[in-house]
Homo-oligomer: A and B are copies of this chain.
Amino acid sequence: MIRINRLTDYAVIVLAEMLRAESLRTVPQLAADTSLPAPTVAKLLKVLAHGRLVTSSRGATGGYSLGRPADAISVADIIEAVEGPIAITMCVEDNDSCCGIESLCSLHGHWTRINQAIRRALTEISLTELARLPAFDMDCWPGPRTKEKVEARKAPCKTKPAP
C-alpha cells in the first residue's frame, strides 16, 4: 500500500479541530479535543508551524491558530509540512549525498511522472473539504498507539494460535 504516516493523519485531525473553533488554542486544549497524546500534538504543531500552516503565539497566553484560510490549505500542503516533499523516493533517497544527479537517473524519471499525478490529486483537496465531513466517531477511532493499548488489544482480538 501507499502509506501516509500516522502523524500526517493526526495533522489532519488537529487542523480540522482548529478549523472547527477558530481561535487561539493551546496544546493541552487540542490534545483533549482530539484525544491525542499531548506530546505528540505538541511535536506536530511545531512542524506545522515550521510549514506556516499554523501560527504560534508564545508566552503565557500563547497558543496556535491556523496560518491561513482553510481553503488555502491543501492536503498536499499538510503532507509536505509533516513528511517533507511529496515524492515516491526510490534510488533518489541516497543520492543527496552521493550520486545526486537526478536528471541522469531514468529510474527517477519513471516516478516523477507518477509523483506529479499524485501531487496534482492531493493539491485539489482542501482542508475545508476534509473538515466538512462529520466529526470523528470516537467509538471507532482507536486512538494513539500506546504500549498498554497494544497489549490490551492483542488478547481479545487476534486469535492467532500461539506457535
Contacts and interface: CB of A to CB of B under 8 A. Distances in A.
Interface of A: 1-4, 6, 9, 12-13, 75, 79, 83-91, 94-95, 97-99, 101, 104-107, 109-111, 113-114, 117-118, 120-122, 124-125, 129-130, 133-137, 139-142, 153, 157-158
A1 B76 CA distance: 10
A94 B142 CA distance: 8
A99 B142 CA distance: 8
A41 B157 CA distance: 35
13 contacts: A2-B86, A3-B88, A9-B90, A75-B114, A91-B142, A99-B139, A106-B136, A106-B137, A107-B136, A107-B140, A109-B133, A117-B124, A120-B121
Contacts of A104: 137, 139-140
